[in-house]
């Protein structure tokens, strides 16, 4: 296995890498940037600026990008830069914002919130939301402090969602109408010294997560047992995805200054590319939303 830096990009809060159309896409959330990189050279091939903070994004079938901003979900046309609001969540607070999200197999977009700097015993606002293919927004769950890493198991189709604050990854059964049920604890990461941040599955059903406070990646099998751990040359890895022509490279975003976490090492804020892992990932589905003309 080899770990290398991809290009010269340095992000404050690198997040949400997505392999799409032969390129690596990612966010710098604090800067409000959507960025595409050449996966071989790391050269920036696209750069779009939107109002920060950014939470996550997914590609729609018509080429537009579904974006989670602070408290609203929007659509960005990368050809024109036009930004449209699609939905707004049912809560608002200076320390609440939309965070990690994912396109689902049915074409919807599922995204969670983070509510930080709460008083002791104060319940988090927001929760886990779904924007369906009819552009209807519904709440799927609540009581989650920092939602991260939503991803769908290729083995049983269950949605896995991390609450980084509680250092736990939950799994949910997904009903035909997109609602969730049968919430279970998939794994707790207290013994790893960190909450789980971004997550993704490999094709064999192993869940990979960035342990943001220990500079490591961990892989858990379908039973939640730790099967692999990789130490990275960074302080705070944030998220990861498989990509490359054979879907066998692993790309990792990192943090130099998230507003709560900071680091000043030579690779903090860089994008890492891991090769030779011996496993493959899966292409992420597209959202299938009939977005308004714009």
pLDDT tens, residue by residue, 17-58 = 999 999 999 999 999 999 999 999 999 999 999 999 999 999
CATH number of the domain that residue 184 is part of = 2.120.10.30
Beta strands in 153-233 (DSSP E): 159-163, 168-174, 180-188, 196-201, 207-211, 216-220, 226-231
Does residue 154 sit within a domain? yes
Among 39, 28, 33, 36, residue whose Cα is nearest residue 242? 39
Summarize the confidence of residues 167-182 as an average pLDDT: 98
Label residue 292 by pLDDT band (50, 70, 90): confident
* All residues at 6 or more sequence positions from 243 whose CB lies less than 8 Å from its CB, including other chains: 17, 19, 24, 39, 249, 250, 251, 281
Among 86, 15, 91, 48, residue whose Cα is nearest residue 291? 86
Does residue 294 sit within a domain? no
Looking at residue 231, its pLDDT comes to 98
Does residue 290 sit within a domain? no
Q: Are 101 and 283 in contact (CB under 8 A)?
A: no
Has this prediction a pTM greater than 0.75?
Answer: yes
Q: Is 62 a catalytic residue?
A: no
Q: How many CA atoms lie within 13 A of 162 on its CB side?
A: 28
What is the DSSP code string of 178-189?
S-EEEEEEEEE-
Q: How far apart are CA 33 and CA 22, in angstroms?
A: 19
Q: How far apart are CA 171 and CA 184, in angstroms?
A: 5
Looking at residue 6, its pLDDT comes to 98
Does residue 288 sit within a domain? no
pLDDT score of 223 more than 90? yes
Looking at residue 167, its pLDDT comes to 98
Helices (H) and strands (E) in the chain, counts: 0, 24
Looking at residue 237, its pLDDT comes to 98
pLDDT score of 160 more than 90? yes
Q: How far apart are CA 242 and CA 252, in angstroms?
A: 9
Query: Into how many domains does the chain fold?
Result: 1
Considering the chain, what is the average pLDDT of its residues?
97
81-102, pLDDT tens digit by residue?
999 999 999 999 999 999 999 9
pLDDT score of 291 more than 90? no
Domain that holds residue 104: 2-275
**Angle (nearest 5°) at CA 168 between 163 and 169:** 80
Does residue 26 sit within a domain? yes
- The most distant pair of C-alpha atoms in the chain lies apart, rounded to whole Å, by 49
Q: What is the DSSP letter of 50?
A: -
Does residue 292 sit within a domain? no
Does residue 280 sit within a domain? no
Does residue 286 sit within a domain? no
Choosing from 77, 100, 132, 197, the catalytic residue is 197
């Amino acid at each position: 296995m080899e770990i290398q830096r991809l290009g010269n990009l340095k992000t404050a809060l690198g997040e949400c890498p997505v392999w799409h159309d032969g390129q690596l896409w990612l966010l710098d959330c604090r800067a409000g940037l959507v960025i595409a990189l050449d996966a071989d050279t790391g050269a920036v091939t696209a750069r779009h600026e939107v109002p920060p903070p950014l939470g996550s994004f997914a590609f729609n079938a018509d080429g537009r990008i579904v974006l989670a901003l602070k408290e609203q979900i929007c659509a960005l046309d990368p050809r024109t830069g036009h930004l449209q609001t699609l939905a707004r969540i049912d809560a608002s607070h200076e320390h609440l914002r939309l965070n990690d999200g994912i396109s689902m197999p049915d074409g919807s977009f599922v995204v969670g919130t983070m509510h930080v700097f709460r008083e002791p015993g104060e319940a988090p606002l927001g929760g886990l939301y779904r924007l369906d293919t009819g552009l209807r927004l519904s709440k799927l769950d609540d009581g989650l402090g920092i939602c991260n890493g939503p991803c769908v198991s290729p083995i049983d189709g269950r949605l896995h969602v991390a609450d980084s604050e509680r250092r736990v990854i939950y799994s949910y059964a997904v009903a035909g109408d997109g609602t969730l049920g049968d919430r279970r604890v998939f794994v707790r990461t207290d013994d790893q010294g960190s909450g789980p941040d971004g997550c993704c599955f490999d094709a064999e059903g192993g869940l990979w997560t960035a342990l943001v406070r220990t500079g490591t990646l961990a892989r858990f099998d379908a039973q939640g047992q730790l099967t692999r751990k990789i130490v990275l040359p960074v302080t705070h890895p944030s998220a990861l995805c498989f990509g490359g022509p054979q879907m066998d490279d692993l790309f990792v975003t990192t943090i130099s200054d998230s507003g709560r976490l900071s680091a000043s090492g030579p690779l903090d804020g860089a994008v890492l590319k891991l090769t030779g892992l011996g496993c493959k990932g899966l292409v992420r589905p597209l959202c299938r939303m009939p977005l308004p003309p714009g």
